[in-house]
Structure 1
Amino acid sequence: MNKLKQYINQFHPIVWVLLVGTILSRGSSFMTLPFLSIYLSRHMDLSPVIIGITVGMSPLMGAIGGFIGGNLSDRFGRKKVMLVSLFAISIVYYGFTIGKSQGWFILLNALNGLCNSFFEPTSQALMGDLTGKKNRMKAYSLRYTAINIGASVGPLLGAYLAITSAKLSFALTGSVYLLYAFILLFLMGKLDVGKAEQSNKKSVTMIDAFRIMKTDKALLFLVLGIILISLGYSQMNSNLPQFMQMTLPNGVFIFSVLLTINALLVVILQMPLSHIAEKWTPMQSMVVGALLMAAGLFCFGFINGWATAILSIVFLTLGEIFIFPSNSMLIDQLAPEHLRGTYFGAGQFSKIGNFLGPIIGGYLLSHFQGPIMFWVISLIVFASILFFKLGNGIYVKTRVASGEKGI
């Protein structure tokens, strides 16, 4: 009991609120967005490229809005930005329930990406504000685990609702985000987070922030590498379900099971593998993760049944376990204390890959065979290692003189 109490006391209560909220909100969003491409192909008879553009609008707006939202949170406080964005997300999902045209879905998915891009970097920055340096990697790993706890439940329910009542899934997701916003509003009023925000707040204009991003080459190469990773990972929620629906019996069901396997593996393996990763530098974890993710995407080109599908998702999952928490830790290490929100916002530029991925993959799927699409994408993911190495080299050259290690 004492050990449990000590474990809980490692983190501020608001950090635990964010973790629990992540489970609920991500579970509901995984019930809807992975099946958006299937919904559009069934109900609107759109080409894979147009579906890719529609699905890709969310990450495109996320890439644009994340930097702005992160900077605003540095200037005006995390609480305001987080709460406004959560309420807006709930409205967007309710809007999906009445959408009837391609333009409506493009607009709503763009707003969804914009609102999420305000919330995500701000919530990560707040977790960093409220957590000591020695526990931050653990906090970011727990956050990623929380995402996948939600993701382990959402897809199975989403597969059922995609066939029976897709609009109900949108309404449920909107309701969960609305409840999350009200709970966070109440608890942030009761629990003090003002000191953590104020201690890191300085007057940094948007122009100053862009100037800082331009000069930090290590961050630039890190983001470029993650763009390629995101380009590959986005295939799982855009072109993979279409490919499996076209080539396998019960492809939608198999796809939903793969999403659940993906999430469960992250929940089970995240903490054990994080202990292994702690013996490496975060950059080494990123390289290993990129190799595993490229292998998983390459194997997707050979899918002909359950065995090959599961093998592919295992490789992909191991890759993301190493990459994504390490990416958060690297951004945290690079960021000055008063610019943590801005740096996490800059990390949202990686969503450019989530925008381009569905479009590039959709083009390859339309003009070539599915296996060729996955093999090309796997090579793109493999190329991310070059950017990671370049970023690490710059970081080492600029900071080794002060006695710090590379990333």
Structure 2
Amino acid sequence: MSEVREAITRAHHDEWARVVAALTRRFGDLGIAEDSAAEAFATAVERWPADGVPPNPGAWLTTTANHKAIDRIRRENKRDDKHREARMVHDDDPPEPLGAIDDDRLRLIFTCCHPALAMETRAALTLRMVGGLTVPEIARAFLVTESAMGRRITRAKDKIKAARIPYRVPSADDLPARVSGVLAALFLVFNEGYLATGPDTDPVRHDLTAEAIRLTRLIRDLLPDDGEVAGLLALMLLTESRRTARVSAGGELVALDEQDRGSWDAALIAEGHRLVRERLAAAAAGIAPGRYQILAAINAVHTSARDMRDTDWSQILALYDQLVRIDPSPIIALNRAVAVAELDGPEVALATVDRLEPTLSGYHAYHATRADLLRRLGRSQRSRAAYDKAIDLAGNTAETAYLTHRRDQLR
């Protein structure tokens, strides 16, 4: 039974986007594609434990989802519409052109990121229907409640239907207008893999980080002159280079200052640094860097230091100051406070962090950062309370173990 469950989980990770993309091309309706794919996976959960895993799970899921879509069309449309939609399931018609994008999953992501939708809505919808993330995972990524995120996704689908937004394959001319939404979605997919938020998943999901990197590489090929594409790819590579050092053998998160830097992936670091240098050259020529390029530059400073004590915190703070001017979000301010603590001390940083409480009170990293600053100031009782809050909010098992360990070390 456990092998069947693993097969279903693996099929969901590997086949979800492909099935949805195939149905979207055939029926022209992303809502039907998503709902039919979900029904197919639900049927697999019911039948595979009894019948066994089919020899080709992907083909089985696609066929079943096609049948579900046809049934849905027949139920929901009038008689005249039934005949019109039924003709769509035949393969006699020539296939739709693929447009500028060869990859099924990337094509579907660009299709979802329609400019008529708000940026956050594009990313949330893409994560749900293409990334396969659950509503709770997406809600945690956006720091909102599950019910609020569910309503946001529902409103997006309703707007698509009401405004008759077409889900056509984007052309090469469409890509620049949609790429920012695509990058935002891929960044969130990568972050979910880098530090998974669900308590029932692996703490680091390499399947998500690897897929986000693969798709960003494809975008880089499509838009080689886009600085933010290069910046996001560099950011992902430099972050991924530390993956094997981030979780101990005992399943506890390893902080940056305690990681074995000799185990970092030198090839990924070299590639990431090369992309950062390329963007720095563009900046010197008068092209202002964007958010992902600055984040990549910050990671380049971290990965250039052979030891935590060698880290150039002045440069990191200067980069954060630059980032705050284009992205004055509270999370950026929180991360900047970590650099302030290294340069000006934890007392100065704590004052900055405390001002963020109204907007970040539900974010576990806010309480974890505050707990560490209080610990460094010797305020053990207040530090313990902050650790308790961070532990309550954290969903990642490795991070929870780390925070619990740090809390229990307090006198």
Q: What TM-score, normalized to structure 2?
A: 0.30
Report the structure, 1 or 2, having the larger helix content. 1
Bigger RCO (CA 8 Å, 6+ sep): 1
Q: What TM-score, normalized to structure 1?
A: 0.30
Larger Rg: 2
